[in-house]
Structure 1
Amino acid sequence: MNESTTEWKAVVTDDDQPKLPVRIGSALVIGVILWLGGYLGINAVLLPAKVVVLDAANKTNIIAVLATSGMIVATFANIIFGAASDLTRSRWGRRTPWIVVGSVASALSLVVVMKATSVAVLVVSWCVYQFFLNAIVAPLIAVLADRVAPRHRGTLTAFYAFGSAIGQYGGQLVAAQFLDKVDLGFIVLIVATLLSGPVAAVLLREPSSLNMPKQEFTKDMILSHFSLPVHGARDYYLALFGKFMMQSACYAVSGYQLYILTDYMNQDSASTSRYVSIVSMCMMVSALVVSLIAGPISDKIGRRKPPVIVASMLIAIGVFVPFVSNEPWTIVVYAVIAGIGVGAYNSVDQALNVEVLPDPATAAKDLGILNLANTGGQILGPVIAAMVINAVGYHLIFPIAAIIAIIGAVLIGLIRSVK
């Protein structure tokens, strides 16, 4: 299926799509910038700042509760929305209805998060937000499997990684400007979240899926679409847990960067805001530059694993650096090295994920489960960090994160079906 085709097709071959689908790439870039920028700007910067206002004495434990509860909700949401979009027959296609509804519901949920005056309300509204956010995430990433030919997947994954880098670090950079006006920062990122689905949908111009074969509602259909893959899924799970380890390593550090700067590196409010901006900018620039290179190279050489393994090792080196000293220069060095690793990883990772899918018919659900490695890592990383901080202090977060990243590299290396 090329970009001008209006007929729905289950798979896209290289012959169907001789030219790079630039418009689809643009939809992926803009969509992920808006939803991920909103999510990580709030999760990494504004949410910790709000927690301090609500209960400063228990801030690390509250962040861990938010992370854990969010992970549980996201686990079910990825499966539910991924499977629902795989089965959707509509004039707007399979993915479009869900990414639009998800963006509106996520934005409304964030309004409640912003207005929360107690920890209980904060936790509940954050879980509701995590649920609806995955109505955007799983269907949008499935576009790589639905509408991109194998010859272009590395390059389109680089598009997605490019947008991810801007969203991930740009969102934090924007949020850092509002540490003294937290509610205003929330409003800016809520608007970004609200726009993510509609803007991506307009650019995607997804063909109608009304001619897609209708699934009979049977036990086998339910098991196929609403459960974890079982058959031929060895490499799928290696990719899942490899990604999970890498993301956990990253977010063990970045999820607590605000507290690392204030409590480990002893920076005041003004200096903390400045270093959060510097770190976000360094990681964003590093990731952007590398993401534009690694994906096309992966397509050219026809290999996915080597760039991912090298990227994981760079992340391991980067997260270890602040262990050397509690001077703030170390977190800047971490940002540069880890940013290069994240850029290389993200620019190839989704192409690898598509190629280890057990069944193309359940692409959104299975890619949604793989995305749990991102969500789960963003959640488990801070949980591990909280345990370490409470037990021995901040300094051991960094070598532990490095070990986790190395484990991720080993798991990716064990994949057999992808070069």
Structure 2
Amino acid sequence: MTDAPAADIRPAAPRRLLVALIVTELMITFALATPLVATLGLKVQEIAPDRKEQVLATVMAVGSIAALLLNPVFGHLSDRTTGRFGRRRPWIAGGLVVGLPAGAVMATAHSTTQLVLGWLLAQAAYNAALAALSAVIADRVPPAQQATMSGLFGAAGFAGVVPGLVLVGTIPGNTTALFLIPAAIGALGAVLAWLLLREPAVPGGAGRAAKAVNLRSVLGSLLFDPRTSPAFTVVWCQRFLLQFANALIGAYGLYFLMARLDMSVSEAAALVSATGLVSLAGNVLAAAVFGRVASRTGAYRALVVGSGTLMTAAMVIKMFSASVWPVYLATAVAAVGLGAFYAVDLALVLRVMPDGGDSARYLGVFNIAKALPQTLAPVLAPVLLALGSDPVGASAEKNYFALFLGGAVAALLATALTPLIRHPRLVRD
């Protein structure tokens, strides 16, 4: 029988720390998401208009792979950092500062190679900051506050997309400013993080010599043993499956509306924008509200079941959608479901991940479950779309019924895994 862990008697985290975590997450997301939502596409249109689809796909793929690998590696390096400035603050502030020259490289790009190099540097910079920032919650926020912090952290991650969308809508033709402004705001975030995320000095010496960084430790930071951490494995799989369901349909939203609802490109684009705002509002609101609910009740697993059920229901609604309002309904249901999940999954994984002082490394591995589906889903989606004809809607060219069925199965499987999450730290549900 596994002994219950000792009670965590850390005092409540100061409000200044919580605000600094939320604002820093908001700034990192703004700097990283703005190129993803629009700026890279606009720059590719400038430098390779005749091959824009292929070039953008290449840039995005390279960035996704970099994020996949670099987040746990930087988390591992943060765990092993010693010095007077602590383990996390140098990586957070350093990553945000390096994001500025990365933005300059992309802003001045005249070739695909330069754009790829700039995007790689940006991914390295911001993933270093993200890996260390998440670990601050594990290090310095006691369990009683972690669910609330998880919800607010998730809400900040969703809300960080908004300034980028506003900026793109304000100056759509100035790609130089679109790259440099978010990067400059991120660099200002480095000052905030340096001043407000102070932490105790970490001594070096023999106590940490056994955890020296080397090639083997860096490669090992990408992996974990499911046999020794079964609860962590289940939570990892749930995040992967729910993110996979979301990513499976996300990239084809425009084409779905054109096929199912027989819309023109401009009509479909307008509806995508409108549903995007609905989704964002639902994500932010659900993450903030359900994070607080989880903090008060401790019912993490119950909230995971609820969020997975909502995601499954949204997929089923879209399977049969042939008009505008079911699309809005499915979008709202999915937004609440995904927002609720990201409100509790960070607090949940903090309770079930292995001990040993490697919190940033394990959180980096956990982030692979969010990044990997964005690479795999575009590969599988065309296979599902090619499975016969769509039984719903005006067009029979692509089988969107099968695509959403695949998403529903993934979300339902994630929900069904919940009873397997067993850990001594989970005692209230």
Partner of 2:178: 185
Query: Are residues 16 and 218 of structure 1, via their aligned partners in 2, closer, same or farther at CA, if it must alter by over 3 Å?
Result: closer
For 1:26, the aligned partner's letter is V
Matched residue, 2:242: 246
**Equivalent pair of 1:73/1:130 in contact (CA under 8 Å):** yes
Partner Cα distance (1:13, 1:43) in 2: 42
Deviations for 1:243-302, whole angstroms, at most 9, x for unmatched residues? 112112223333454665678764445x56644543332222222222222122222222
Looking at structure 1, the residues matched to 37 and 108 of structure 2 have their Cα atoms a distance apart, in angstroms, of 18
Q: Percent identity of the aligned residues?
A: 26
CA 1:263/1:348 → structure 2, altered by over 3 Å: closer, same or farther?
same
> Is structure 2 residue 360 aligned with structure 1 residue 364?
yes
The corresponding residue for 1:152 is 145
Structure 1 position 337, deviation (Å): 1.5
Contact persistence 1:252–1:385 (CA under 8 A): yes
Q: Matched residues in 1 for 2:212 and 2:271: separation? A: 54
TM-score in terms of structure 2 length? 0.81
User: What secondary structure does 2:357 align onto?
Assistant: helix
| Distance (Å, rounded) in 1 between the aligned partners of 2:386 and 2:186 | 34
2:220 is the alignment partner of 1:229: no
Q: Give secondary structure in 1 for the equivalent of 2:182.
A: helix
Task: Verify: 1:16 aligned to 2:22, yes or no.
Answer: no
CA contact (8 A) 1:41 1:171 kept: yes
Alignment of 1:80 with 2:73, yes or no, is: yes
CA deviation vs aligned residue, 1:211-249 (integer Å, no higher than 9, x gap): 797411568987667432336212212211211121122
Q: Considering only aligned residues, what root-mean-square deviation do their CA atoms show, in Å?
A: 3.4
Contact (CA 8 Å) 1:169, 1:281: kept in 2 or not? no
CA shift, 1:344, in A, is: 0.7
Aligned residues: 407
What is the aligned partner in structure 1 of residue 412 from structure 2?
406
**Counterparts in 2 of 1:45 and 1:326: CA distance versus 1, 3 Å:** farther
Partner-residue secondary structure (3-state), 2:187: helix
- Cα pair distance change 1:199/1:283, threshold 3 Å: farther
In structure 2, do the counterparts of structure 1 residues 182 and 328 end up closer, same or farther at CA, with 3 Å as the change threshold? farther
Retained in 1: the 8 A contact 2:13–2:140?
no
Are 1:169 and 1:280, in contact at CA under 8 Å, matched by a contact in 2? no
1:61–1:405 CA distance, 2 compared to 1 (3 A): farther
Residue 332 of structure 2: aligned partner? 336
Deviations 1:169-189 (A, max 9, x none): 554455455555544433333
Q: Deviations over 1:67-110 (max 9, x none)?
A: 43333322331232111111111222110100111112233223
Cα pair distance change 1:282/1:188, threshold 3 Å: farther
The match for 1:33 is 26
Cα distance in 2, alignment partners of residues 122 and 387 from structure 1: 30
Between 1:290-299 and 1:115-124, the stretch displaced more is 115-124
Describe the superposition over 1:96-141 as per-residue Cα deviations: whole angstroms up to 9, x where unpaired. Answer: 1001111122332233334334444433432332222210111100
In 2, the alpha carbon distance for the partners of 1:201 and 1:264 equals 51
The answer to whether 1:133 aligns with 2:137 is no
Q: How far did 1:156 drift?
A: 1.2
Counterpart CA distance in 2 for 1:219 and 1:188 is 38
**Range that drifts further, 331-340 or 218-227:** 218-227
Picking from 259, 276, 287, the partner of 1:291 is 287
Give 1:5's aligned residue: none
Q: What secondary structure, in the 3-state scheme, does the structure 1 residue paired with 2:141 have?
A: coil
Q: Does the 8 A contact of 2:100 with 2:180 survive in 1?
A: no
Does the CA-based 8 Å contact 2:80-2:211 persist in structure 1? no
Where do 1:2-401 residues align within 5 Å?
14-17=8-11, 19=12, 21-52=14-45, 61-169=54-162, 171-172=164-165, 174-210=167-203, 214-217=207-210, 226-227=220-221, 228-230=223-225, 232-257=228-253, 266-269=263-266, 274-325=270-321, 329-385=325-381, 393=398, 395=400, 396-401=402-407
Q: Distance in 1 between matches of 2:152 and 2:79?
A: 23
Partner of 2:422: 416
Whole-angstrom CA distance in 2 between matches of 1:359 and 1:180: 49
SS at the partner of 1:215? helix
CA distance in 1 between partners of 2:290 and 2:104 (Å): 38
Q: Distance in 2 between matches of 1:25 and 1:205?
A: 12
Is there any run of 5+ residues in structure 2 with no aligned partner, and where? 388-396
- Bigger shift: 357-366 or 375-384? 375-384
Equivalent residues of 2:85, 2:199 under 8 A apart = yes
> Hey, what does 1:6 align to over in structure 2?
none
Farther-moved stretch of structure 1 (81-90 vs 46-55): 46-55
Q: Deviations over 1:188-225 (max 9, x none)?
A: 33333333443233332223223797411568987667
The DSSP-based 3-state class of the residue aligned with 2:34 is helix
- With structure 1 as the length reference, what TM-score do the two structures score? 0.83
Deviation, 1:351, is 0.5
Alpha-carbon separation, structure 2, partners of 1:329 and 1:21: 44
Does the aligned pair in 2 maintain the 1:169–1:283 contact within 8 Å?
no
Partner SS for 1:346: helix
How far has the Cα of 1:356 moved from its partner?
A: 1.4
Read off the aligned partner of 2:370 and give its amino acid letter.
Answer: N
2:407 is matched by which residue type in structure 1?
A: A
Q: Tell me, what secondary structure is at the counterpart of 2:208?
A: coil
SS in 1 for 2:19: helix
* Mapped partners of 1:334, 1:182: distance in 2: 34
CA contact (8 A) 1:28 1:163 kept: no
Following superposition, the deviation at residue 323 of structure 1 comes to 4.1
Q: CA contact under 8 A between 1:238 and 1:411: conserved in structure 2?
A: yes
